[in-house]
């Protein structure tokens, strides 16, 4: 598989290419060393997730459009601040043109999307996107390729033509063109993500995806999603926060409350491996619920 990378432009005008596993930090051995006391030794990390590159905060902070973020999807034009007045610009992103698919789970070839998968026998072989200790086998990404283990057998590398025998189940692996990888997943600039059925009930939100665990939100993160679902249009942050905290009339306090809960919401989505642009900011103070083809919204508020 072709190695993925992202090309960043530094404030000095210099450019540097970073690949999955590379560290941004103050340490001299960091792939991108930033000699600045505001930068942590291990500040941020480049990761390949769900078909795309992400920049993950480690010991340092990231900000996008002035808002704190624990994770930033890397795409051309992205500006991410690693410290005040220290901004990185993504100039170019190169992703592998092919992805790995697995046959033997049903009639269709399934694309490996989640970084960790467990093979279980649920009226037939089923690949579940999480770690299940009682699984027949486990398949995971090491950031550049795929590896697997059956029971207590040795770990093996997976690639086109690999075969995995787990009990009576035989899985074979094939290379697929990324732009035509699967009828069951949506391939966008954000990577491979299965269609979602989003059920909003104001105080709770449940996100369903085929064969993936349900992601449940509650409290203000759920209310943010429910408000955006009810409006079905971009909403300015002040209007969104005003709906959530009607007794608060201090604009600074409203913005701080909204920012804190957006950070919590994004963390929950990231933990559930939900595409990060579900709640989208336009950089001008507006937020919206971004639905892609195949997504379904059920408003039960």
| Tokens matching residue 200 | 């909003």
| Tokens matching residue 66 | 């002035």
Helix axes 237-244, 251-271, angle to 10 degrees: 90
pLDDT for 59 equals: 83
pLDDT by position in tens, the chain (length 301): 457 889 999 999 999 999 888 999 999 999 999 999 999 999 999 987 656 788 988 888 888 767 778 888 888 888 999 998 899 999 999 877 777 888 888 766 777 777 788 999 877 888 887 888 999 999 998 877 899 999 999 999 999 899 999 999 999 998 876 654 433 444 333 444 678 999 999 999 999 988 788 999 999 999 999 999 999 888 999 999 999 999 888 888 898 889 889 888 988 887 787 876 789 887 678 899 988 878 899 998 8
SS3 readout for 208-276? EECCEEEEEEEHHHHHHHHHHHHHCCCEEHHHHHHHHCCCCCCHHHHHHHHHHHHHHHHHHHHHCCCCC
Choices 2.60.200.20, 1.10.3720.10, 2.60.120.10, 1.20.1070.10: CATH for 5-94 = 2.60.200.20
pLDDT for 71 equals: 81
pLDDT for 26 equals: 94
For residue 149, how many other CB atoms are within 10 A of its CB?
16
pLDDT for 189 equals: 34
Average pLDDT of the chain? 85
Fold classified for 98-187? Tumour Suppressor Smad4 (2.60.200)
pLDDT for 178 equals: 62
| Tokens matching residue 141 | 């990404």
Instruction: Return the SS3 of 4.
Output: coil
pLDDT for 187 equals: 39
CATH classification of 194-299 is 1.10.10, yes or no?
A: yes
Instruction: Return the SS3 of 37.
Output: coil
Distance CA 27, CA 293 (A): 43
Distance CA 205, CA 220 (A): 10
pLDDT for 1 equals: 46
Give yes or no for a contact between 70 and 266, defined as CB atoms under 8 angstroms apart.
yes
Is 194-299 the same fold as 98-187? Answer: no
- pTM, two decimal places: 0.50
Instruction: Return the SS3 of 285.
Output: coil
Distance CA 149, CA 130 (A): 14
pLDDT for 223 equals: 96
pLDDT for 202 equals: 93
Domains in the chain: boundaries: 5-94, 98-187, 194-299
pLDDT for 151 equals: 92
pLDDT for 200 equals: 96
Q: How far apart are the first and last CA of the chain?
A: 45
pLDDT for 190 equals: 40
Distance CA 108, CA 39 (A): 47
Q: What is the pLDDT of residues 155-165, one digit of tens each?
A: 999 998 999 99
């Amino acid at each position: 598989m072709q190695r993925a990378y992202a090309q960043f432009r530094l404030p000095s005008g210099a450019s540097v290419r970073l690949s999955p596993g590379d560290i941004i930090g103050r340490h001299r051995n960091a792939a991108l060393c930033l000699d600045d006391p505001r930068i942590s030794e291990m500040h941020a990390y480049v990761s390949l997730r769900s078909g795309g590159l992400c920049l993950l905060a480690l010991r340092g902070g990231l900000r996008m459009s002035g808002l704190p973020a624990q994770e930033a999807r890397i795409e051309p034009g992205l500006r991410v601040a690693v410290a005040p007045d220290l901004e990185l610009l993504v100039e170019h992103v190169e992703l592998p043109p092919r992805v790995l698919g697995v046959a033997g789970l049903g009639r269709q070839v399934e694309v490996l999307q989640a970084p960790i998968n467990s093979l279980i026998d649920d009226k037939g072989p089923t690949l579940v996107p999480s770690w299940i200790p009682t699984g027949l086998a486990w398949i995971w990404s090491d950031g550049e390729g795929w590896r697997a283990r059956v029971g207590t057998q040795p770990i093996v590398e997976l690639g086109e033509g690999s075969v995995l025998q787990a009990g009576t189940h035989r899985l074979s692996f094939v290379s697929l063109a990324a732009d035509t990888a699967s009828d069951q997943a949506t391939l966008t600039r954000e990577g491979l993500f299965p269609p979602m059925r989003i059920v909003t009930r104001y105080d709770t939100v449940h996100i369903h995806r085929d064969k993936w665990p349900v992601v449940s939100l509650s409290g203000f993160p759920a209310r943010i999603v429910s408000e955006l679902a009810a409006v079905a249009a971009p909403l300015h942050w002040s209007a969104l926060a005003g709906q959530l905290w009607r007794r608060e009339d201090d604009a600074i306090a409203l913005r701080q409350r909204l920012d804190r809960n957006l950070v919590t919401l994004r963390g929950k989505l990231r933990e559930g491996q939900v595409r990060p642009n579900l709640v989208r900011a336009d950089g001008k103070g507006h937020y919206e619920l971004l639905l892609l083809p195949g997504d379904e919204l059920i408003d039960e508020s």
